[in-house]
Chain A
Amino acid sequence: MSKASELEARFGRACDLLMGELASGESLSVEFAGESSTFMRFNGAKVRQIGEVDKASVDFKYYRDGKTIASSVTLGGNEAEDIERSAHALTRARREAALLPEDPYQTLPSAAGQSKESFSGRLPDATRLPEEILAPADLLAKAGADYVGIHSQGPLCRGAANSSGARHWFATETFATDYSAYLPNGKAVKSCYAGRDWDGAEYRRRLEAEKPKLEALAKPEKILAPGEYRVYLAPDALNEFIGFFSWNGLSERDMREGESAWLALREGRKSLSPKFGLSQDFSLGVQPRFNELGEVAPETLSLIKGGKLVNTFVSARSAKQYGAVSNASPEGEYLRSGAIAGGDLAEEKILETLGTGLYVSNLHYLNWSDNDSARITGMTRFACVWVENGKIVAPIKDMRFDESLFNLWGDKLEAVTAKRSLVVETGSYFLRALEGSLLPGMLIEGFTFTL
């Protein structure tokens, strides 16, 4: 039995126990997340930490008599132990739900569809990872660079089911080598080789391709004064903004409760450039369409079109509370599989069109600095370079920016690249992430740097 199949069996056992023991008048929705991962962390092209994690759990919601309670069960793979843990959690949920006040916006799970998607991969032998991942970094060492990062691999699984008959399963086997190569001057290139089928030759080719970038970064740095600059944001840099459609973002609840930074867009007080578009697009194939209630979202959902807000994320709960129409968003009402619309700027014309300004490869540690004006602060990071007359001149000393998204993607948005890149999320808080976004690059006139 493959590891993904074994994780699916854990999901099935928990569902069978939880659904099978429900009494009349009780409802349940169950969400499963599991992984069997190998992690190798490295610094100086040497292994810092190496290990594996087998982790699976179901988070369920129990509904009875207008009461709702959430619970979680860790599933270790031992059949008897997992069944006992599930039974204990259901017992506790029944006991505690009775203590709660009625939930006025309770939405019982009603979706009944079923689906199953499974993608196998070809991954390196875990015990040979040090050789496979770190030996090729010798070519970077010869270029004077120090190799640091993490390689992770293994199956990732998600599932959802409910007491109305929905049952969904998504399994994929992936790897990600998320790395940086640092020069002695502190400048670095950053990239990630990710996918399902490991190709050692392709990995080495990618490392080889970093060498000319490192040569550019070895030059003396240029120190910019605070002010407004012409800027090109590469897809990896743009990816740092993706979370801001979720955090104080395009949630219907956040709009109603004054927490969204996009209220001015909703209310027509601000608009974005006609060049700006955003959608949720599950055709990217990186994550499943179902949510924790077993509801399946439409394959695509247009959110901002031609600079205007056309949809928000509406969960079943918000639909009931506010009289809106659900689009099968999770209760957290966040963006999944985001895609920013492409434009007409050709890849080979980026530097020429930028002319003189700043090529921003990556950004770091962004945060809302003023919610009402959708202003965000953050830092440049990694291979950001100064460009003059279409030629790379020097790396820059990192700068802090503080800029409203209504400016950045409004009047200041000059061009969007035609080519878009799939930027895979490599985060691993609690679990390895199963997300990604399809992103272009953007040319911005007058990007504001403050420090």
Chain B
Amino acid sequence: MTQNETNWPVALCATDSGAQAAAVNALRELLHVGLRIALNGRSDVSEAHLEDFAQESLLRVLDRLDQFQGRSQFTTWAQAIALNVAFTELRRKRWQDVSLDALLADGERLADLAVIADDVLGAEEDRTRLVGALRNAIEKDLTPKQRAAILGELREMPFDQIVELLGTSRSAGYKMLHDARRALKQRLQEAGITGADIQSAFD
């Protein structure tokens, strides 16, 4: 049987301890190879990192075996988990020195009306109207934490880091951000700006 044909969930739970160990080792190697391909060329990733990510990913995959639904190949599903493990850790390291105060101060910049220029998207009347309505909605409809979260996202700060700094859970943080986006969108629509206007504004 080739590696692609392996029934991984069965092999990883085999009662024969030798067979199970072989499957675990094969999966660790497969994850290691995938991570090497995905992270090739990054100066912040060493061989030791790859080893650590592969081991951590293996444990995560084994822990979630019951969540595999068989809707893709097992190896693709496992690689997706491994990449999540690796990128989450790399992002955490990159942003670990950002403080809550800095994030909230950044968010407050967004509440400052002068921080978004009228003509930032162009001088056409419909675009300046959209920008004006957006500024107004950001100031009136968002909480400081929502503003901070949105600016954190714009800076490509990891979502895990944003919610950690804001002292909330991932699901609550996601809801907070989703509520903020919906509130802004609704306010724009109330100002007569349609979804099509929003889409076309940045084409």
Is B a genuine binding partner of A?
Answer: no
- Listed in ascending order, the chain A residues whose CB lies under 8 Å from chain B are none
B residues with CB within 8 A of A = none
